[in-house]
Amino acid sequence: MGAIRQWLLFAALLSLSLSNGVHSQDDVDDVIEEDVDVPDAAFLLVRHKIDTVELVQGRNTSVVVELYNAGNSAATDIVLKGAQWPLSDFEDSGGVASGSWSKLSPGATVRVEYFLTPKASGPYPPLDATVTYKAEAGAKPQVAYGATPVLYILSPTQKLMRTALYVGSYLSLGTVRTPEQWMWAGSSVGGGALLLGGYWAYTIATDANKRKKYRKALEEVTKMS
């Protein structure tokens, strides 16, 4: 029942404005469980899962759509129509975005998976997947909606910078995390290197001057003798 309560809370928080469906999010781990009455009829919840938070332009990513029956009755005549991703912004890289099932028992889950390749970087707004089903025998079909999460697509350069910052943060034990901190650290290291280089050059020049004076004094002594 704990899983059912979590799914129902997920639906209640995200779909107060919908009478026949729900809008989903990528994660519901932060929802605090409460006692929730499970509906007698079938009640389908829809959720999208993206395989990575950091989407990168030109790289494939998988999208999983899950349907979960949180009710006490079986849902029937289920038809899922996947979100319509514009081909101008995404390349269809295979998989199945839609599906149909004759029955989904209480507490059961079905899913489809497909693959996309973003063509551009930047944020991308949510899109809805649509599910129609019958909540009980003899009932009229009803509709549920599942929204994709807001996507933040990185360019290859941004991805490289993000990786470098992550590695740098790890190597610096978390003291250097942002580009500004790295600029400050680079300036400090560069200034220190410049000072060390100047001191090294000064030491070499001083030693050379001392040797030159020593040789000249030695020559004078030799002439006097």
In the chain, how many H helices and how many E strands? 3, 11
* Higher local confidence (pLDDT), 22 or 68: 68
The whole-angstrom separation of Cα 43 and Cα 73 is: 8
Band (158; pLDDT cuts 50, 70, 90): confident
Band (16; pLDDT cuts 50, 70, 90): very low
Residue 95 β-bridge partners? 114
| pLDDT at residue 5 tops 60 | no
| pLDDT at residue 4 tops 60 | no
Beta carbons within 8 Å of 9's beta carbon, 6+ residues apart: 28, 31, 32, 33, 34, 36
| pLDDT at residue 83 tops 80 | yes
pLDDT tens, position by position, 164-222: 766 656 555 556 555 555 555 555 555 555 666 666 666 776 776 777 766 766 666 66
pTM for this model (two decimals): 0.58
Across 93-104, average pLDDT: 96
Residue-averaged pLDDT of the chain: 76
The dotted CATH code for 2-154 is 2.60.40.10
Across 115-131, average pLDDT: 94
The whole-angstrom separation of Cα 9 and Cα 18 is: 14
As a dihedral over the C-alpha atoms of residue 15, residue 16, residue 18, residue 19, rounded to 10 degrees, the angle is 120
Domain boundaries, the chain: 2-154, 191-225
Band (223; pLDDT cuts 50, 70, 90): low
pLDDT tens, position by position, 190-199: 555 566 666 6
User: Would you state the pLDDT for residue 14?
Assistant: 42
φ/ψ of 50, rounded to 5, equals: -105, 135
User: Would you state the pLDDT for residue 186?
Assistant: 55
* Higher local confidence (pLDDT), 211 or 44: 44
- Which of 27-59 are b and which e, b meaning 16 or more Cβ less than 10 Å from the residue's Cβ? ebeebeeeebeeeeebbbbbbbbbeeeebbbeb
Band (61; pLDDT cuts 50, 70, 90): very high
* Higher local confidence (pLDDT), 169 or 89: 89
Least confidently predicted of 17-31, 38-52, 149-163: 17-31
